[in-house]
Structure 1
Amino acid sequence: MKKTYIVTMLSAVLALSMLTTACGDAKDSEQNASAETKSADPILNETGYPIVKEPLKMQFFTGRNSGGATNFNEAMIWKEYAKKTGIDVDFQLVNFENLSEKFNLAMSSGSYPDAFHTARITAADLTKYGSQGLFIPLNDMIDKYAPNFKKLLDQYPSIKKGITMPDGKIYSVPLVYEPDFLAILISQKMWINKDWLTKLNMKMPATLDEYYEYLKAVKNTDLNGNGKKDEIGFGGVGMGSILEVLKGSLGLMNRGTNHRNVDVDPATGKLRFIPTDDRYKELLQYLNKLYSEGLIDKDILTIKNPEFAAKGTQGIYGSLTTSFPETVMGQKNYEIPPPLKGPHGDQMFTNIQNQLVQPGAFVITDKNKHPEATLRWIDYFFSEEGQKTFFMGFKDVTYTETPDGKFEYKDEILKNPSGMEQALLKYVTWPGGSYPGYVTKKYFKSVTEKMNAQHKALEPGLPKENWPAFTYTVEESEQMKAIWTDINTYIDQSTVKFVTGVTPFSEWDSYVSTIKKMKIDEYIKFYQAAADRYKNTK
């Protein structure tokens, strides 16, 4: 990679000259970053629109959902944005199913484009290719060319911490959710059939013991009135569907779902490995009681999402875990209970992800000759106008503005027989997810006000501190992966065996001892190093 520096000679009579030099080491590059910013691209307009003074074409490697837009280049949003900015982007689409393979091939062959958009690039790859100079660091450019994104980083320091790699550099623009947008931050939550509570003359369960009594009553009562005992206490997909939503009742996973297996022990303030903790054992014992008494669907270990949804339409579950029973199963009679209080007084709901959803949603590569213009291009979508356009489309075409200042899709979008998202695809390309940008309740209308309101009961029990995923050096990532693969498999298998009774709890100490022999202490040392970096990142 070569960089151009404007060198001003000491004598005022001498003309300016251009000097092209090879990149120095990382330290020299960092020292010269400010000089590079000052020697802005000659076709760049630093503010206002168009972004460039002459037409510019770029190529983006772009991920897409198989049900999403088939040609981003034909979508109204990108045609209009090209007119606004002067930058014409050719979106080269790759299905999410093949994204990782195609990304790795592009990087290994060197045939990658100006930028990666909606590419789900992992923190490990950001570190790897950033350290090799293939991804451009954005730290200094953000301050000057991304005022909307910078405002978000200043407002939520945890986002900046989460996208700062171990070398102190930021190589990406992420996908971020509004922090109180619980309907999408909490994808899986517990629901209870409120009509059945009424029939049973029971109040909404508030503790694990009361939840157990409710499930037992469901199993033993013909609540659907069909003359059969076909009611099922709890239904979900996989044992994790109930395990994860109840961890908070034992005070576990208290830093959110980005840290499912490691949190902070409130008694010591130190990192705690959840799957070997005594409280995890207590939770498994509780689930073993439910399972052994037939209060959990016997098919939970084998059922898949389509089959679960179909089964749910029959109205036979007293309680279940899903996103929204009304949209998934057509069931309107379910309500989210408050966090259930556990045996130690914990009453938390910790199955919530951090607002930093994907760190590597947008990356500028070293092949890009106009990185400042490209950063200005993506920064627009962190502005109010950019968010509205990206999600809502165009006024009086896809949406209308109400007298009280709200934005609503037009009937031809909302009531389209093909579905709302399909109707939007010729105008905007967000359906399918993983895009760079900021998702807020104000403009993301796939989630209704009713859906948002349904989460109110969980708010008092949410973690006080919700960490984004940590970042690791290349060496740390490789060593942690080598350790974790076998441990993870062993934990998953052992968890199921404990819950189903295949392995008695008298074997718990042996289970813990086995995990220790698999180098879990070494794994936690790497985790601690990453936690310290996160804490100390400014």
Structure 2
Amino acid sequence: MKKNKKILFLLCISFFSVLVACSKDEKEAVGGSEDALENLNQEGMPIVEEEITIDVFAGKAASAADDWNDVPVLNEYEKMTNIDMNWNQVPVDGLEEKRNLALASGDLPDLFYGSYMPNSDLYKYGEQGIFIPLNDLIDEYAPNIKAYLEKYPEIKQGITFPDGNIYAIPRLRDPESPTSLMDDKPWINQEILDETGMDNPETTDEFYEYLKAAKELSVDGNEVIPFSSVSMDRLFHWLTGAFGVSNKGILHPSIDEDPETGELRFYRTADEYKQLLEYMNKLYTEGLIEQNIYSIEVDHFLANGAEGKYAAMNFFNPKDYFGEEVGGRYIPGNALEGPNGDKLFTSVISPVNSLGHFSITNVNENPEATIRWIDYFWSDEGAKMFFMGLEGETYEETSDGPELTEEITNNPNGLTVQEALAQYIINPGGGHPVIENPEYSTAPEFQPEDLENAENMAPYLIEEPWPFFFYEEEEQAALDSLGADIQKYVGEMEAQFVTGETSFDEWDNYVKTLEEMGLDEYMEIQNEALKRYEEGQ
């Protein structure tokens, strides 16, 4: 009897080994069928000889075209490629719920596009084989993406998961374009600056004095609001670098690199961060920051901005949001030097700022054709088509390069440039797995005012901002609870210190509470993730 049990045990082990091996082979063998490969052209157009259809789950921004199944650029591209993309669009507002439902139900599309898939889900479902590895597909069928990753190995490192696989094509910012890497930007109202008789502030002390002087002025009988944006976070974005914190960019809101030791730091307990809060408390309690900043609505901010009320702000191109006349009053603000001699601008994003935008699922019968479909838009010719549309309709070739037509730049129906383009292309609204190409992109950050602002700020931009890290499943679970609690507490206390609701005499209790909440465990997880990133694993 014991012998029979032993034989049964060995058979079970063998069977389990076969299952594991088969599962591994299936995950590695991610190519299409023989028929699919015979239908494929490895280069040139069309991508496939006989037309194929690919079902796509696509995130849709409010400013994007309503129906991507009937957009001129995509219609033309369908003729070029012989690939009919069946776009099933989901508004960004309800994206997470419907994305999770699709993954949980097993009723999968061939492709998730612009879906803002979190890194944790990419890794989880990639490990399960639901998302197929793209490494070999990129090597064999995506020459433009491959060349870019070879040129920028740090970007390849930033999209490669700990198991060595690439599970998504990201949306990338141009690593050589300061304006592309900057998020919001600082602006000073030149007319109000002139009225104060001051120079554009260079230090935090000068900035404080300018805001105080501006508060005493009025614009067309309206009280000047010295400093504002659409959230308090954006005001911090201008000032963190002046106090030496957040020196690895804004994708990690509480950790950075200790400038003295070079080690990972939870800067929300650092003395420099306390100094920053004390400075912001002074601005807020003296009425130099818009008083409803913690609950401000975008429409409220834009209305005040359109009336020219703001003396300083940290936001996007003012001409786009306040109109030509009022927006034209603003000039680039400076990177401010703080009390300890720090002078950085930290509102910078890693080129790999958003990863989960193009993931092929295991039900896709044409993965080679699918990767070729997106690879074209990484070429120079494809980027021009993606961002500028169709020659003769939305742009014309000139001796100075392609330029948008009058129909787009001075639309007869009064549409903005982005609104007019949205009738032809799908780019307005973002979330696309392409590179923000400065030569062709019509995004606001490439307008002359933004380019000037970025050039002014370039010497003070932080180097090598961190991308999002990859976490193992257990780590992610801990961050979803422990990390969320810590971030919530930090945010609440930040507001209380700034508004004066809590005295700075309570600082030590604040730090102690964070330690009791499990800060050491939180930092241990972050250290492991940082180590994996630095080792390129």
Specify the code of the residue in structure 2 equivalent to 1:213: E
- Residues 351 and 467 of structure 2 are in contact (CA less than 8 Å); yes or no, is this contact kept in structure 1? yes
- SS of residue paired to 2:219: coil
Please report the RMSD computed on the Cα atoms of aligned residues, expressed in angstroms: 2.1
Measured against aligned partners, the alpha-carbon deviations of 1:111-141 in whole angstroms (never above 9, x if no partner) come to 1111111111111110011011000001122
- SS of residue paired to 2:435: strand
Sequence identity, in percent? 40
Query: Which residue in the other structure is 1:509 paired with?
Result: 508
- Partners in 2 of 1:275 and 1:97 — Cα distance? 30
- Residues 183 and 455 of structure 1 are in contact (CA less than 8 Å); yes or no, is this contact kept in structure 2? yes
Measured against aligned partners, the alpha-carbon deviations of 1:474-502 in whole angstroms (never above 9, x if no partner) come to 22111111101211111111111111111
The 10-residue stretch of structure 1 (185-194 or 364-373) with the greater mean CA deviation from structure 2: 185-194
Specify the code of the residue in structure 2 equivalent to 1:97: D
Q: CA deviation at 1:176?
A: 0.7
CA distance 1:37–1:515, shift in 2 (3 Å) = farther
Query: Which residue in the other structure is 1:533 paired with?
Result: 532
Specify the code of the residue in structure 1 equivalent to 2:518: K
- Partners in 2 of 1:188 and 1:284 — Cα distance? 20
Q: What is the aligned counterpart of 1:351 among 341, 347, 351?
A: 347
Specify the code of the residue in structure 2 equivalent to 1:377: W
Query: Which residue in the other structure is 1:97 paired with?
Result: 93
- Residues 159 and 468 of structure 1 are in contact (CA less than 8 Å); yes or no, is this contact kept in structure 2? no
Alignment of 1:387-536 (within 5 A): 387-404=383-400, 406-416=401-411, 417-447=414-444, 448-536=447-535
- Partners in 1 of 2:22 and 2:520 — Cα distance? 35
Q: What is the aligned counterpart of 2:253 among 241, 253, 260?
A: 260
- Partners in 1 of 2:34 and 2:533 — Cα distance? 30
Q: What is the aligned counterpart of 2:294 among 270, 291, 301?
A: 301
Alignment of 1:20-59 (within 5 A): 24=21, 28=25, 41-59=37-55
Alignment of 1:204-223 (within 5 A): 204-220=200-216, 222=217
Q: CA deviation at 1:423?
A: 2.3
- Residues 158 and 468 of structure 1 are in contact (CA less than 8 Å); yes or no, is this contact kept in structure 2? no
Q: CA deviation at 1:27?
A: 5.2
Are residue 378 (structure 1) and residue 374 (structure 2) matched? yes
- SS of residue paired to 2:396: strand
Query: Which residue in the other structure is 1:3 paired with?
Result: none
- SS of residue paired to 2:21: coil
- Partners in 2 of 1:199 and 1:423 — Cα distance? 38
> TM-score, length-normalised on structure 1?
0.91
Q: CA deviation at 1:26?
A: 6.1
- Residues 276 and 512 of structure 1 are in contact (CA less than 8 Å); yes or no, is this contact kept in structure 2? yes
- Residues 215 and 288 of structure 2 are in contact (CA less than 8 Å); yes or no, is this contact kept in structure 1? yes
Measured against aligned partners, the alpha-carbon deviations of 1:162-208 in whole angstroms (never above 9, x if no partner) come to 21112111011111111244445333222112222222221111111
Specify the code of the residue in structure 2 equivalent to 1:303: I
- Partners in 2 of 1:113 and 1:449 — Cα distance? 41
Are residue 317 (structure 1) and residue 316 (structure 2) matched? no
Query: Which residue in the other structure is 2:279 paired with?
Result: 286
CA distance 1:73–1:508, shift in 2 (3 Å) = same
Q: CA deviation at 1:313?
A: 2.1
- Partners in 1 of 2:496 and 2:464 — Cα distance? 32
Measured against aligned partners, the alpha-carbon deviations of 1:492-522 in whole angstroms (never above 9, x if no partner) come to 1111111111111111010000001111111
**Whose helix fraction is larger, Structure 1's or Structure 2's?**
2
Specify the code of the residue in structure 1 equivalent to 2:496: K
Specify the code of the residue in structure 2 equivalent to 1:492: G
- Partners in 1 of 2:88 and 2:381 — Cα distance? 26
- Residues 199 and 223 of structure 1 are in contact (CA less than 8 Å); yes or no, is this contact kept in structure 2? no
- Partners in 2 of 1:360 and 1:23 — Cα distance? 27
Measured against aligned partners, the alpha-carbon deviations of 1:129-161 in whole angstroms (never above 9, x if no partner) come to 101100000112211111100111112222212
- Residues 250 and 283 of structure 1 are in contact (CA less than 8 Å); yes or no, is this contact kept in structure 2? yes
Q: What is the aligned counterpart of 2:152 among 144, 156, 164?
A: 156
Query: Which residue in the other structure is 1:5 paired with?
Result: none
Alignment of 1:164-243 (within 5 A): 164-220=160-216, 222=217, 224=219, 226=221, 230-243=223-236
Query: Which residue in the other structure is 1:8 paired with?
Result: none
Show structure 1 runs of 5+ residues with no match. 1-20
- SS of residue paired to 2:100: helix
> TM-score, length-normalised on structure 2?
0.91
- Partners in 1 of 2:31 and 2:344 — Cα distance? 50
Show structure 2 runs of 5+ residues with no match. 1-17
Q: CA deviation at 1:421?
A: 2.6
Q: CA deviation at 1:286?
A: 0.8
The 10-residue stretch of structure 1 (175-184 or 338-347) with the greater mean CA deviation from structure 2: 175-184
CA distance 1:254–1:38, shift in 2 (3 Å) = farther
- SS of residue paired to 2:355: strand
Q: What is the aligned counterpart of 1:116 among 77, 88, 112?
A: 112
- SS of residue paired to 2:38: coil
The 10-residue stretch of structure 1 (153-162 or 201-210) with the greater mean CA deviation from structure 2: 153-162
Specify the code of the residue in structure 2 equivalent to 1:441: P
Specify the code of the residue in structure 2 equivalent to 1:415: N
